[in-house]
Amino acid sequence: MMTVTANSVFIDNQPVELNGEVNLLTLVRKVGVELPTFCYHSELSIYGACRMCVVEIEGRGIVAACSTPPTPGMRILTNSPRVQRVRRTVLELLLANHERECTTCEKNGNCKLQDLANRFGVRKIRFGERDMKLPIDDSSASIVRDPNKCILCGDCVRMCSEVQGIGILNFANRGSKVQVTPAFNKKMAEVECVNCGQCSAVCPTGALVVKSQVNQAWKALADPSKVVVAQVAPAVRVALGEEFGMEAGQIVTGKVVGALKRLGFDKVFDTCIAADLTIMEETTELIERLEKGIEGPLFTSCCPAWVKYAEHNGSNLLKNLSTCRSPQQMFGSLVKRYWAKELGKEPKDIYVISIMPCTAKKFEAARPEFTVDGVPDVDLVLTTQELSQMIRESGLDFAAVDPDSFDMPFGFTTGAGVIFGASGGVAEAALRAAYEMVTGEVLEQVNFESIRGFAGLKEATVNLNGKEVKVAVVHGLGNAKELLNKLNSGEAKYDFVEVMACPGGCISGAGQPQAVDMNTKKARARGIYHADKLSQLRKSQDNPVVAKFYEKWLQRPNSHEAHETLHTSYSTRARITGEDIELLNSDREHKVDLAVCLGTCCYTKGSYDTLQEFIRQAERNGIKEQLNLHATFCLEGCENSPSVRVNDQIYGGITAERVGTFIQEKVLPELERNKE
């Protein structure tokens, strides 16, 4: 029996010693009582909205365990009759406002609301059902948003804002009309969503789910005119097993290949070989920048969510972004451009399906940059979750599937390609290559431990022939945002920066089985590095098949042919798609049109204050009725923001302080011309 001390609390009449726990939820779970939650995630701020984790404290009544700190002497009941009544009532209220078409829901069988309703025996709901059905938003290439299934837990809002630093989702309206929605009630495809899918990864219900393409995959597999090939990303091999009762991080590469062949794929290849190609191209690009003394770091371009973030946040990022395609798109290009010819096939006859941990890969595959003569390089992207669904649907017993090996020529890979699946892997693989390319010496110790792990920012400095090369690794776009601010202010300086949008890298992609805690993510990372350690070849430049690709098809890294096949370019997306927002007058006839940009770059430089000052100055100068003053969402003047348009002329650098002078010099003369 535990000794009672002055630092003890009592949980269900059992003494428990306090040891720095920040809330009752952590303390209660430590003693083996699993309190239910919807809105609590250890990686997010404490919200305390769902009220499922309530406990009863002697002398204080019912409190939320997640937001209540423990104090010595507390007497806590976790399952008193009063607590039971509150929990069941909360569940009934949530279910009353939640569309209950469970049998056809994407989350059926994996829904926390469904699970808790069953756990607490909720069989009747005393309250009425939702009286109005809201439209489903399936505009995104990656995510489907169904507001009818939202329980307003706020998990997606905090994930998008706190971890990813984007904030495209938030609460709108008041009272019974409250809902979570993008700004101005836009669709997901119309705002600066980067398709990372982390909102869906934390959503406990079916309000945000990965957009399924399983039916399209079955259709392709049933088409005898197509040669259907799969490419499998490195992070899939350490996560798929979780869907079938295996431990997180267990390497199931052979079973993945075996299952795909049983499903009907003609060939199964490894994306890791394209990762090796990426390293050859990107490292050559880095070395050339270092030799030429080009300012600013080279940013990796493997993560499509990060690439889209860069597109939304200004051309100053894009000029430093590697021109390399992601491994997924390099693979698709090679298969359609060269391998198809070797088979005597047209590109349209080869159907490439990617098996990815990532939802943003769906968006990437659909980008027009990666389509040639109407034929996409990658036809379809399935997440790890979708592959598990197909395996179950086919009736395969995954545990009993005989392991098989990847097909050649795209099946011979190195450990350097495998570690792309974890944060720091791309940078580490690049350093393994850069050292030998620059020094001409063999790198014996290939591990770069300082850029492994889950720290928000990881750094390494490598001496390459007397030059100190500084490398940074960030994961989670919130961390990337902080690093960019430091780079812009001159506080930090790096030569090479790896960015992954998902916390922990691809192992934590939103298409993976839902990771309930950090231990799951760490286990997957260990599996990735264990697979690297078991590889006979651990450096991309040692891959003989990659060398053969250059000899047959690509000439050399960064050659003209390699650029045509393996590289691309991107352009700014500093806009929110949709109509302008009228502020003073909707009647435009005989008025001066004055638009203030509220796109990302302008907004961060104070354009909202500029807009407010224009409203004040218009009233002060008595010209309110003569202006059509409105907000717009990109004037393409990101280099000199905030931007303002007067009729057809765009002006840059119009801060709030400059508004008065600007009206005198530009707006009033335009008004005079209008009178004429």
Per DSSP, 349 falls in state G
The SS3 of residue 328 is: helix
Rounded distance between C-alpha atoms, residue 197 and residue 185, angstroms: 19
Whether the CB-CB separation of 383 and 265 falls below 8 Å is answered with no
Catalytic residue among 190, 243, 285, 498: 285
Peptide bond connecting 557 to the previous residue in cis, omega within 30 degrees of 0: no
Rounded distance between C-alpha atoms, residue 329 and residue 378, angstroms: 7
Rounded distance between C-alpha atoms, residue 659 and residue 642, angstroms: 11
Task: Fill in the amino acid letter for 483.
Answer: L
Q: Mark whether 369 is an active-site residue.
A: yes
At 76, give phi and psi (nearest 5°). Answer: -120, 130
Cα distance between the two ends of the chain: 94
The enclosing H or E element of 332 equals helix 327-334
Whether the CB-CB separation of 36 and 119 falls below 8 Å is answered with yes
Beta bridge partners of 229: 267, 352
80 contacts: CB under 8 Å, gap ≥ 6: 56
Catalytic residue among 282, 311, 428, 613: 282
Which residue, among 429, 161, 391, has the nearest Cα to 256 in the 3D structure? 391
650 contacts: CB under 8 Å, gap ≥ 6: 635, 636, 637, 643, 644
Catalytic residue among 53, 506, 602, 638: 506
Catalytic residue among 267, 361, 521, 591: 361
Rounded distance between C-alpha atoms, residue 506 and residue 423, angstroms: 7
The total number of residues shown for the chain amounts to 676
Which residue, among 512, 510, 424, 418, has the nearest Cα to 474 in the 3D structure? 424
Which value, to the nearest 10 degrees, does the dihedral of the CA atoms of residues 25, 27, 29, 32 take?
-150
Rounded distance between C-alpha atoms, residue 633 and residue 600, angstroms: 8
The SS3 of residue 259 is: helix
Catalytic residue among 105, 111, 302, 303: 302
Q: Mark whether 625 is an active-site residue.
A: no
172 contacts: CB under 8 Å, gap ≥ 6: 178, 179, 180, 181, 185
At 43, give phi and psi (nearest 5°). Answer: -90, -5
| Cα Rg of the chain, angstroms | 28
Q: Mark whether 101 is an active-site residue.
A: no
Q: Mark whether 301 is an active-site residue.
A: no
Q: Mark whether 364 is an active-site residue.
A: yes
Catalytic residue among 140, 142, 301, 322: 322
Q: Mark whether 295 is an active-site residue.
A: no
Q: Mark whether 346 is an active-site residue.
A: no
Rounded distance between C-alpha atoms, residue 358 and residue 501, angstroms: 10
What are the CA-CA distances from residue 674 to residues 260, 630, 670 (Å)? 69, 18, 6
Within the chain, what is the greatest distance between any pair of CA atoms? 94
Q: Mark whether 255 is an active-site residue.
A: no
Catalytic residue among 99, 106, 311, 364: 364
Catalytic residue among 342, 369, 449, 582: 369
Catalytic residues: 282, 285, 302, 322, 361, 364, 369, 506
